[in-house]
Amino acid sequence: MNIQDNLNNIKSTLPEDVTLVAVSKTKPISDLMEAYNAGQRIFGENKIQEMVEKHEDMPKDIEWHMIGHVQRNKVKYMAEFVSLIHGVESFKLLKEINKQAKKHNRIINCLLQIKIAEEDSKFGMSATDAATLLQSDEFSDLKHIKITGVMGMATFTDDMKQVETEFKFLKHTFSELKNINTELNTISMGMSGDYKLAIECGSTMVRVGSSIFGSRNYK
């Protein structure tokens, strides 16, 4: 199977209102271009430097999503072009994104990363902290960011019951936050191994890497 076939197979199973982010981290430009030539325009990377380099070398009608953990001192490198930052988990980070977006006269869309997994290693804020943030005055002062939804990563496990519980929790959290901020419209959840389950649980955006590009080599 090649990248184009993989991509078309996955797209044929997605409901129309679910957005596919092709997660291309560690993959060479030639692989990304194969997906691009098959019509894919949204790519997700988890390292800012790598995303910056790929953005420079690739067509400019691509939407770049930062899906990884974001270090505040690196926001400036992507502020000019990034179209969605999935992993926002603190007000401090949001403030920095706002500051860098302002320099480019942009409004950067962000998702609040909610901790849904039991594993301590996973990042994210609690549902309560997210609600507090959305209601705070400090938040309403930030004119160069827009929170458009939530993102979550389930526990790395074969226990699909547990994954389902975590996805449902994220969907529930989204609904509660939407009561506070009606502009929210995105639930980013689901990866290669669990995106179908994620969609059943209400996902509107899936982040799929290895099922499109093959397994990754970390050197």
Measured at the CA of 156, the angle between CA 206 and CA 200, to 5 degrees, comes to: 40
**207 belongs to the binding site for ligand PLP (CB under 6 A):** yes
Element (H, E) at 63: strand 63-66
Q: Which of 70, 191, 198, 205 binds ligand PLP (CB under 6 A)?
A: 191
The CA-atom distances, in angstroms, between 96 and each of 71, 107, 123, 147, 173 are: 10, 13, 18, 14, 25
**10 belongs to the binding site for ligand PLP (CB under 6 A):** no
Amino acid letter at 119? Answer: E
Cα 29 to Cα 27: distance, rounded to the nearest angstrom: 7
Q: Which of 23, 94, 116, 163 binds ligand PLP (CB under 6 A)?
A: 23
Contacts (CB under 6 A) with ligand PLP, residues 92-121? none
Give the residue nearest to ligand PLP (CB): 209
Cα 61 to Cα 83: distance, rounded to the nearest angstrom: 11
Q: What is the DSSP letter of 107?
A: -
Q: Which of 62, 68, 93, 110 binds ligand PLP (CB under 6 A)?
A: 68
Residue 14 backbone phi and psi in degrees, to 5: -90, 135
**186 belongs to the binding site for ligand PLP (CB under 6 A):** no
| SS3 (DSSP) at 206 | strand
Task: Select 121 or 140, whichever has its Cβ closest to ligand PLP.
Answer: 121
Closest distance to ligand PLP from the beta carbon of 182 (Å): 26
Closest distance to ligand PLP from the beta carbon of 212 (Å): 8
Closest distance to ligand PLP from the beta carbon of 67 (Å): 4
Q: Which of 58, 132, 210, 214 binds ligand PLP (CB under 6 A)?
A: 210
> Residue numbers of the site for ligand PLP (CB under 6 A)?
23, 25, 46, 67-68, 153, 191-193, 207-211
